[in-house]
Amino acid sequence: MKKIKFALKNSAVVAVLIGSFTACDKDFATVGSDIIGENNFLTPDKVYPVIAYTNSLSPLEPVQTNNLPLNYLGVYKDPTYGLTTANLVTQVSSSQMSPDFGENVQIDSVVLTVPYFSKRVEINEEGETIYELDSIFGNDFVKLEIFENTYFLSDIDPTQEFDTPLRYYSNMTTSNSPINSALLEGTPIHIHESEENQNYLAVFKPSNDQIELWDEEDEVTERLAPSLRVKLDTTFWHNKIIGLAPGAPELSNANNFNNYFRGLYFKATPIDNDGNLMLLNFGASTANITIFYTKNSTVEDAEPVNASYVLSFGGNRVNFLNNQFNLTIPQGDPVMGDEKLYLKGGEGSTAVIDLFQGGTFEDGYSPEFVAFKNEFVETDSEGNFVKSKRLVNEANLVLYVDQEAVQGNEPERLYLYDQTNGTPLIDYYIDLTNTVDPNGSKTGHLGVLQREGNEPTGDGIKYKMKITEHINNLLLRDSTNVKLGLAVSLNVNLENSLTQYKVKSDEDATVETLPVSSILSPRGTILFGNNTADETKKLQLEIFYTCIRTDGDCQEED
């Protein structure tokens, strides 16, 4: 039995594979080329039952969250599932080793900046750019605190082989031990006390205002995109960094520095059981802590000179998630399937879709899969493809939203994948609808949520997942009929280049990894499964196909 796995990491490999599939499709089309003629073909459609169920580990066990491409900070109140709080610990890296700060150093200010995701909408008459924020969930205030982290974030797992990386999980644990929260909350990093700054983090909500920097003559010198930007108290930074003696070993190399200054811990607390959740790019070039200071000039009797020392958010970065769900997610039924499928991002919940109840030739195909293959192809004694009887034009899974159970804010995108191997389906790679906007990417394969009236705020109706080439692989290329995973997705483009992250569970768990785009999404939804009593909303596999006409119907099987 041939088993096709797709874990493509670069465009060259993708191009070669797409070319090979194109060749296969040409061979496929040739099967009926000698008999194509007027009125020889019909295009009927048919639906096939599937088994779909919420994963047995739901809510999921803790998920790996170290070194995600993006990070969350804040509080999100999902109207269906409840409250999720996201905290963050990050190492920092120095812009220079063994710095010489000079003589008579005076810190002017310390500024922390982390940009939001935003897009430009227009430029007004004053030359200011008007921005619209993206990936901000919730519109209420949250309390933010910043601490010096005193817990050492190691790269290597000391209990394993030397080069085994240490994993950090969403429940504040590592691969082998819990993390002491008291160490994360070492020394509070206070903000600079001023009239405009004093309540900035105590009652915080992101602003879409452009940031303007002014000089001493009240002239605008620079305009920045909206950011989490705050002035910090200078005393801590003088004692920790600037006040060190010249040649201090703590600043002499990266290892010493990482052990001396172990980074920052950002802690969020809900206000009135609500808040807002920000998606932040701590790896951006403009994300840093900058210490602005003056020092004596090396020129005699000259004025003090301005200087700066930059700390970027490098090294390990870990998200910690705390869920307070207000509903109980039932355990899934892998035999009969579920009435409803519960999907939630982060440390949440995923689902399984089992087409034709699985099985391989060696293990014994299920009767459902044998019957399905016999309708479409002829096989030899070993179950391998010989020739086609019917041509699959399109195959879809249509998933309906349970609008009575969902209270709004459904995710725009879901991600369907090969759960056995933790990789996208072939349809993902050949879908060329790939744009900068994640909501416009891979829409041929992974349909965007259809809403009532096609309004952005309309109630969600359904998602359509096109899996035509996956079905053709099962029929024509003898691929393994793997179980399919279904998860909420923040950005389906991420799955093209990132391997799935680990789930911290026992060895017998059905869920071992999770898509990165699902970990990054705070949203959730509830869908109708295959076992619902509502026949109009039941999850089924629909196939549109072409077959040979014989006496007004498709040709009977031999």
- Tens of pLDDT, residues 10-65: 443 334 333 433 333 333 333 333 333 444 455 558 999 999 999 877 677 899 99
DSSP assignment, residue 533? S
pLDDT beyond 70 at 549: no
Question: So what's the pLDDT on residue 11?
Answer: 40
Mean of pLDDT values over 262-282:
97
Q: Using the predicted structure, report yes or no on whether residue 323 has a pLDDT greater than 90.
A: yes
Average pLDDT over residues 531-558: 77
pLDDT bucket at 6, cuts 50 / 70 / 90: very low
Amino acid sitting at position 139: N
Task: Tell me: do 317 and 336 sit in the same domain.
Answer: no
Give yes or no: residues 411 and 525 share one domain. yes
For 350, phi then psi, to 5°, come to: -130, 175
pLDDT confidence tier of residue 363, bands split at 50, 70 and 90: low
Residue 175 near residue 65, CB atoms below 8 Å = no
Q: Which letter does DSSP use for residue 178 in this model?
A: B
Number of domains in the chain: 2
Tokens at 386, concatenated: 């010989």
Select the more confidently predicted residue: 9 or 149. Answer: 149
Domain encompassing residue 186: 71-323
461 compared with 366, residue with greater pLDDT: 461
Q: What is the pLDDT of residue 12?
A: 39
The answer to whether residues 155 and 263 belong to one domain is: yes
300 and 387 share one domain: no
319 with 339, same domain: the answer is no
Q: How far apart are CA 268 and CA 74, in angstroms?
A: 5
Same domain, 124 and 53: no
**335 and 316 within one domain:** no
Q: What are phi and psi of 239, to 5 degrees?
A: -70, -35
Range with the lowest mean pLDDT among 217-226, 302-311, 463-472? Answer: 217-226
Query: How many C-beta atoms surround the C-beta of residue 321 within 10 A?
Result: 22
> How many of the other CB atoms lie within 10 Å of CB of 405?
14
Give the tens place of pLDDT for each residue, 77-111.
Answer: 999 999 999 999 999 999 889 998 999 999 999 99
Segment 410-427 shows an average pLDDT of 96
Which residue spans within 468-521 are E strands per DSSP?
Answer: 484-489, 501-502, 513-514
Q: Using CA atoms, how far apart are residues 157 and 167, in angstroms rounded to an integer?
A: 8
The mean of the pLDDT values for the chain is 86
pTM of the predicted protein model: 0.87
Non-local CB neighbours of 82 within 8 Å, separated by 6+ positions: 323, 324, 325, 326, 327
What confidence score (pLDDT) does residue 553 get?
Answer: 54
Confidence of residue 214 (pLDDT cuts 50, 70, 90): confident
Question: Look-up: residue for tokens 């999902």?
Answer: 78
Q: Which residue has the higher pLDDT, 59 or 114?
A: 114
Q: How confident is the model at residue 509 (pLDDT cuts 50, 70, 90)?
A: low
Say if 122 falls within a structural domain. yes
Q: What is the mean pLDDT of residues 234-250?
A: 93
Domain final residue pick, 323, 350, 375: 323
Give the residue, 198 or 299, on which the prediction is more confident: 299
- Least confident interval from 221-225, 439-443, 530-534: 221-225
Same domain for 147 and 220? yes
Place 256 in a pLDDT band, splitting at 50, 70 and 90.
Answer: very high
pLDDT band, residue 196 (cuts 50/70/90):
confident
Confidence class for position 501, pLDDT limits 50, 70, 90: very high
pLDDT given at position 305? 94
122 and 197 both lie in a single domain: yes
Question: Which of 264, 288, 323 lies at the terminal end of a domain, its last residue?
Answer: 323
* Cα–Cα distance measured from residue 328 to residue 324, given in angstroms and rounded to the nearest whole number: 11
Using a pLDDT cut of 90, give the percent of the chain over it. Answer: 64
Q: Rounded CA gap, 224 and 129, in Å?
A: 9
N-terminal to C-terminal alpha carbon distance within the chain = 24
Residue 118 lies inside a defined structural domain of this protein:
yes
pLDDT-derived band at 498, boundaries 50, 70, 90: very high
What would the mean pLDDT of 273-290 be, rounded to a whole number? 95
- Say how far apart CA 549 and CA 97 lie, in whole Å: 77
| pLDDT above 50 for 2 | no
The answer to whether position 556 is within a domain reads no
Q: Which of 515, 498, 517, 492 is nearest to 441 (CA)?
A: 492
Within a domain: residue 6? no
Element (H, E) at 133: strand 129-134
Residue 557 within any structural domain of the chain: no
Mean pLDDT, range 181-189, rounded to an integer: 96
Bond prior to 44 in cis (omega within 30° of 0) = no
Q: What is the pLDDT of residue 506?
A: 64
- Tell me the mean pLDDT in the region 515-530: 96
- Tell me which of 460 and 359 has the higher pLDDT: 460
d(CA 35, CA 474): 24
Q: Are 543 and 551 in contact (CB under 8 A)?
A: no
Segment 293-311 shows an average pLDDT of 92
Q: Is the pLDDT of residue 368 over 70?
A: yes
Q: What span, in angstroms and rounded, lies between the C-alpha atoms of 448 and 489? A: 11
Q: Give the number of other CB atoms < 10 A from CB of residue 144.
A: 23
| Average pLDDT of span 472-492 | 92
The burial class, CB within 10 Å (0-12 / 13-18 / 19+), for 202 is: middle
Asked whether residue 555 is assigned to any structural domain, the reply reads: no
Whether residues 306 and 338 fall in one domain? no
Looking at residues 241-255, what average pLDDT do you find?
91
Q: Which residues contact 312 (CB under 8 A, 6 or more apart)?
A: 92, 93, 95, 287, 288
List Cβ neighbours of 257 (8 Å cut-off, separation of 6 or more): 93, 94, 97, 250, 251
Q: What is the pLDDT of residue 217?
A: 75
Please report the pLDDT score of residue 33 as a whole number: 33
pLDDT-based confidence at 126, cuts 50/70/90?
A: confident
Q: Which of 264, 292, 323 is the last residue of a domain?
A: 323
Q: Identify the pLDDT of residue 131.
A: 95
Task: Answer yes or no: is 415 within a domain.
Answer: yes
Residues 63-70 have a mean pLDDT of: 94
Same domain, 337 and 442: yes
Is residue 442 domain-resident?
Answer: yes
- Domain co-membership, 125 together with 223: yes
